[in-house]
A and B are shown apart, each in its own frame.
Chain A
Amino acid sequence: MSSISKNNNNSSVIMEGKNLNKWYKGIHALKNVSFELGEKEVVGLVGDNGAGKSTLIKILSGAHRQDEGQIFFQGNEVSLSSPRDSMNLGIETIYQYTALVPQMSIARNIFIGREPVLFRLGPIAYIDYKKMGIEALEALRNVGFELRSPDTPIDELSGGERQGVTIARAMYFKTKVMILDEPTNHLSIKETNKVLGWVEDLKHQGITAIFITHNLHHVYPIADKLIVLSRGEKIADIKKEDTSIEELTNLIV
């Protein structure tokens, strides 16, 4: 984790939310939340339990739909009604426990739903298995997994390594915005640092990252900007340089 790049200040906006509202059976889970995400920015999304963080990212990832409000991607208003819609735009979401299929190999996991195909004949789509292996190896190299065979099943990997695979997948598919929901939960210090390193690398690959966590100490060092939610409302949206861990902690509690 090297120094934080300073030239993000005037980066252009890649994604924008305007007056987003979401109700769950009477609970107002998201109240008029607006935000902007810059290109190549790491955004920390923090807040107490039930603040609405997961709700917000579910809307951005197409898993849920907002009840009110608009979403803009690269300047155009978009309608995200399924995960596929978001993925097609280049928005990739990583949920800690559900992102990968444990029984399948790393290579197969990277390419689920987007398998490289050797030939296609009507309903027949023959997987280019060899290419899948080679490309998976390449993707893994991006996150420094030199020693892992793409044939290794996911359930033989540690929690941090699994995050690595999902990050490798996002990098490989030229994701533009990557959403990570508590990627450092239940990880050892060493693994946490590794994951933080990868997230920081995303920026250098031109990817915007939204990093959701309870732990300010994890996100603060690598974030360019922090958004704080509290009971469904956005109560802060602040550049890292203009705040401190202490100030943010006081806001959240």
Chain B
Amino acid sequence: MSGEYTNSLKANRYIQKGLFDRFRASPAGNVILVFLLVLLTCSIVSLIYPDNFRFLSKPNLIILQRAIPTLGIMSIGVGILMITGEFDLSVGAVFGLSAYIMAMVYSAGMPILVGVIAALLVGIIFGLINGWITTSFGIPSFITTLGTLFIIRSGGRLVSDNVPIIFQVPDWFKTLMTGRMLGYIQMQFVWFIIIAIIAWIILNRHTIGNHFISVGGNQMSSTQVGINVKKTKILAFVLCSICAVIAGIMSVIRVGVVNTDAKPLMELECVAACVMGGVALTGGRGSIVGVAVGAIMFHLVKDIIILGKLPAYYLELFIGLVIVFGVTLNQIAKKKY
């Protein structure tokens, strides 16, 4: 029976279109292809000119592994939400505020885990608020979360009074979150991979993931088969916020300084990573692998620009081009194959 199924799948793919075309037409197909090409090129160039282009040097590999997870983990949350058909522009603000809350609770003498839980609660509450307002009043989430972005940011300033907190988390926690394994592997990156795997399972193997995709793809038919659209969307908002909190915590404990001012434009960088990774702006289509690779690509290009001593604005130029051409390319690939 199961062999029959696989055979029929194989036969079908063979009849209909080549495996390669299928792959390219899949949401993440193009970006994975480009990513592999860039990675290969960088590695080769670095092997030929190890002194001029230190791509494969240990410090560079460490820097990449530290930089990628922040954007990567946040983008995974944003990606799941976009697949469900909604946006969250407040992730950058949640990122900043939750890390500050953790540091504040911890500095007040609480155990670090209490700080982490407090930060997660803050994230969950804002996820619930974003989701509840959006679904209850039929407001586009773009607008809801644009509002909460400003509210959370100013709320953060109110809490912090613009005074940074300097703190040292316990060693075990620091090692667990940001330590190094086998000399070359950063824990941040390990967590990024773990979270990506969990997200993949949720999206592809959990019933709720099936509902995320179906709600994002066609809200009406989801309602007709009895899916609770409101609950499903709110859950996606909460997952998105949780990812932002995890990224926020991870990004501050290594340096041990935190302010509520998040890097501006973070939320848009997440959207960019998702779009590069083939997530449809209209919902219903996208893959976790694509989002993860999209986030990696972002930092890979940044790294190349730094290593190649190119002007920094090249990064923005590249991202802009990728968004415009990448989406166009995906569109063409989808039609053609």
Measured CB to CB, the residues of A under 8 A from B are 61, 63, 82-84, 87, 93, 95, 98-104, 108-109, 111-115, 117, 124-127, 129-130, 133-134, 137, 147-152
CA distance A125 to B204 in the complex (A): 11
A23, chain B: closest CB distance, angstroms:
23
Contacts of A95 in B (CB 8 A): 220-221, 224
Partner of B2, one of A87, A113, A134, A148: A134
Q: Which residue of A lies closest to B283 (CB)?
A: A103
- Interface 9-residue window, one of B6-14, B171-179, B260-268: B6-14
B205 near A127: Cβ-Cβ < 8 Å = yes
Q: A95-B221, A108-B210 given. 14 additional CB < 8 A pairs?
A: A82-B226, A83-B226, A84-B226, A93-B224, A95-B224, A101-B222, A125-B208, A126-B205, A126-B206, A127-B205, A134-B1, A149-B8, A149-B16, A152-B12
| B residues contacting the other copy or chain, number (CB 8 A) | 35
List, in ascending order, chain A residues with CB within 8 A of B218's CB.
98, 100-102
Q: How far is the CB of A90 from chain B (nearest CB, A)?
A: 13
B280 within 8 A of A: yes
* Interface of chain B residues 183 through 240 with chain A (CB within 8 A): 201, 204-211, 213-214, 216-218, 220-227
Closest residue of chain A to B12 (Cβ to Cβ) is A149
Report the separation of the CA atoms of residues A83 and B227 in the bound assembly, to the nearest whole angstrom. Answer: 9
A102 CA / B210 CA spacing, docked (Å):
13
Q: Please state if B5 and A99 are interface contacts (CB–CB under 8 Å).
A: no
Q: Determine the distance from Cα of A250 to Cα of B91 in the docked complex, in whole angstroms.
A: 63
Residue contact B224 to A101, C-beta cutoff 8 Å: no
For A134, list chain B residues within 8 Å (CB).
Answer: 1-2, 5
Closest to B83 in A: A103
* Contact call A133/B210, Cβ cutoff below 8 A: no
Chain B residues with a Cβ under 8 A of chain A: 1-2, 4-5, 8-9, 12-13, 15-16, 201, 204-211, 213-214, 216-218, 220-227, 280, 284-285
Classify the secondary structure of B's interface with A: helix
Contact, CB under 8 Å: A124 / B5: no
Nearest B residue (CB) for A95: B224
From B206, B214, B227, give the contact of A125 (CB < 8 A).
B206
Q: Which residues of B contact A129 (CB under 8 A)?
A: 204-205
Distance between B17 CB and nearest chain A CB, rounded to angstroms: 10
Q: Which of A101, A126, A127, A137 contacts B8 (CB 8 A)?
A: A137
Residues A130 and B2 in contact, CB atoms below 8 Å apart:
yes
A147–B12 CB distance below 8 A: yes
Bound Cα distance from A149 to B226, whole angstroms: 26
B12:A98 contact, CB within 8 angstroms: no
B residues less than 8 Å from A152 (CB atoms)? 12
- The 25 sampled A-B contact pairs (Cβ below 8 Å) are A61-B224, A63-B224, A83-B223, A93-B224, A99-B221, A99-B224, A103-B217, A103-B284, A103-B285, A108-B210, A108-B214, A112-B214, A113-B227, A114-B225, A115-B210, A117-B207, A125-B208, A127-B207, A127-B209, A129-B204, A130-B5, A137-B5, A148-B12, A151-B9, A152-B12
CB of A56, distance to nearest CB on chain B (Å): 16
CB-based contact A98/B221 at 8 Å: yes
Chain A residues contacting B204 (CB-CB under 8 Å) are 127, 129
Across the interface, do B210 and A127 meet the contact criterion of CB distance under 8 Å?
yes
- Contact between A104 and B217, CB atoms less than 8 A apart: yes
- Considering only CB atoms, which chain B residue lies closest to A113 in the complex? B225
| B218, closest chain A residue (CB) | A101
C-alpha spacing A83/B223, complex, angstroms: 8
Provide the bound-state CA to CA distance between A252 and B210, in Å. Answer: 43
Complex CA distance for A182 and B8, rounded to whole angstroms? 32
Q: Are A124 and B206 in contact (CB under 8 A)?
A: yes
The one of A101, A125, A126, A148 that contacts B221, using a Cβ cutoff of 8 Å: A101
